[in-house]
Amino acid sequence: MTLQEIIDHSKNIVFFGGAGVSTESGIPDFRSTDGLYNQKYDYPPEEILSHTFFVSHTEAFYDFYRDKMLCLTAEPNAAHKKLAELEQKGKLSAVVTQNIDGLHQKAGSKNVFELHGSIHRNYCTQCHKFFDADFIANSVGVPTCDCGGIIKPDVVLYEEGLDDATVTGAVDAISSADCLIVAGTSLNVYPAAGFIRYFRGKYFVLINRDVTPADKYADLVIHDSIGKVLSDTII
């Protein structure tokens, strides 16, 4: 079956996306050959983006975070827009994303489970006051609250667990879907990649530039641009 035929036959689609969904909006993929993990810094990005590093080298964390993670000028691409359209038409019930850029919501998607959090939510570690991404972008050094507490982005760093409510919502959505479209992810990042195991529906579709460990289990595999592939579908 083609992707068009699968979408036509599906009533409850869930989309599971990774970094590849946002690269077409100019946001670098962590693990691609030209992504963040292959660039040179005083510390490796895996170390910088850890809870331990945030606590022990907070200013260095924020130097990297502002420079490489706060992509506030990025706009939704064709994939984000088509997914929002699918939701509006009642075809798609949820988006589960490993991305933290908020582009699905910016495109109009309503039911989005952000497994790794969002750059658009930041909280004081003492009084829990909320701060938006612009506040972080415009701050200098370590951003602090009026109460004196350090502000921390609501993103899941290495050594931190996923949010329980987000996990439950994502698992429920995937397990009740009749079609799961997985795109833009290497399926090498756990625990997030393990979520596809909860799918018990009819159609499992994989769209990714490179081969993934789950290709052999999919009903349809497309190695191409996610934006191009989804743009060609008609709702």
From the candidates 80, 104, 116, 120, which is the catalytic residue?
A: 116
Q: In what order do the strands lie in the sheet with 13-17?
A: 112-114, 92-97, 13-17, 179-183, 203-207, 220-222
Alpha-carbon torsion (142, 145, 150, 152), positive or negative: negative
Distance between CA 96 and CA 161 in Å, rounded? 17
Which residues are paired to 92 by β-bridges? 13
Distance between CA 180 and CA 164 in Å, rounded? 21
104 among known catalytic residues: no
Report the alpha-carbon angle 46-50-55, nearest 5.
140
Distances from the Cα of 136 to the Cα of 24, 67, 153, angstroms: 24, 11, 9
Which residues are marked as active site? Answer: 116
